[in-house]
Amino acid sequence: MTAVSNSKTDAPPTHPRTNNKRERAGSVTERRTDYGSFTVEPLTPHLGAEVNELDLSAPMEGQQIDAVKQAFADWGVLVFRDQELDREAHKRFGRYFGSLHSHPMNYSRNGDSEVLIVRTTADSAYTAGDGWHTDVTCDAIPPLASALYIKETPECGGGDTLYADMYLAYEMLSEPMKQMLEPLVAVHDGALPYVGAYKSTPPEGGYPRNEHPVITVHPETGRKVLNVNSGFTSHIRGLQPFESRALLDALFKLIATTPRLYCRVEWQPNTLTLWDNRCTQHHAVWDYYPHTRSGERVSVVGDEPPRGVNG
Ligand code: SIN
């Protein structure tokens, strides 16, 4: 019988989940957890952290904002517990990162176009984000971040959000696959989720539809990112339809079937989670029917569209 070993000296396995053995993709041995005026506790070594000792209801000063931005770049997903926020405080926090985004589906809704109501009840036909996606990548400049403030959690549990690390997804690809994907551009179509899944009536002229590189470079960390998502990406430009479908399905399957990519946020009332939309995807799990989960989201837009590896 052949002995089975998991020793580090074994020949390299070929499965992407365990590629690169010694320098295993996404393994980070040291990351900051102390940011001066606050500390963080990691959710996983590669993605997500809970932030301690920060009250977002009070305006922050320059140095503290810089520290939050640093933690955001380091961890991709930041969770702030026990926050008592009114809408203005929520929006003020978002504005530290850029201008607030108006969601394309908000065009027909009354109220504040910068705030997306995220509320699911027993009467809801769908819950926003119940599938792997990156927010609003149909826009020419998609949000760089979203900040979701959940006020009401389902009374019998559930309603967590999963986040997936798109740096790590990129690093899991083989070198030939990385080289093939790097020059490619994909189409991101708002009609896919907003009409196809949510059955909403499009605005005059339709929902936005834009092209973005399949592999992008994060403007702050310089790391490469796998930038297609099953929510919005309809096809890869220039490929035969069957080639595009097969490639996208393979990439979407990597994301949907690789828990190692994930961190999981378990919401409590008055939790705010901020995520970096340029290097993560997320999936809001609707496992709490017929109970209610409710909150509000603001998103932030940057100045530049996603950049590919050749600029
Ligand atoms: C979303 O922004 O896609 C919704 C996320 C959530 O409700 O957890």
CA-based angle 22:258:185, to the nearest 5? 95
**Which residues are CB-contacts of 276 (< 8 A; sequence separation ≥ 6)?**
72, 73, 76, 77, 144, 145
Render each residue's pLDDT in the chain as its tens digit; 311 residues. Answer: 444 444 444 433 333 333 333 344 555 556 788 999 999 999 999 999 999 989 999 999 999 999 999 999 999 999 999 999 999 999 999 999 999 998 888 765 667 899 999 999 999 989 999 999 999 999 999 999 999 999 999 999 999 999 999 999 999 999 999 999 999 999 999 999 888 888 888 888 889 999 999 999 999 999 999 999 999 999 999 999 999 999 999 999 999 999 999 999 999 999 999 999 999 999 999 999 999 999 999 999 988 999 999 98
Closest residue by CA, ligand 1 atom 3: 129
**Structure tokens that stand for 241 in this block:** 């339809």
Residue 297 Cβ contacting ligand 1 at under 6 Å: yes
Closest CA to 149 of 116, 105, 107, 110: 116
Number of domains in the chain: 1
Ligand 1: which atom is nearest the Cα of residue 129? 3
Residue 85 Cβ contacting ligand 1 at under 6 Å: no
Q: Kindly list the catalytic residues.
A: 133, 135, 282, 297
Best of 116, 297, 298, 299 for a ligand 1 pocket test (most atoms within 8 Å of beta carbon) = 297
In a domain, 252, yes or no: yes
Domain with 62 in it: 32-301
How far is ligand 1, taken at its centre, from the CA of residue 179, in Å? 32
In a domain, 230, yes or no: yes
**Which residues are CB-contacts of 164 (< 8 A; sequence separation ≥ 6)?**
47, 132, 255, 258, 261, 262, 280, 281, 282, 283
In a domain, 182, yes or no: yes
Closest residue by CA, ligand 1 atom 7: 284
In a domain, 1, yes or no: no
In a domain, 308, yes or no: no
- For residue 204, the domain's CATH number is 3.60.130.10
In a domain, 25, yes or no: no
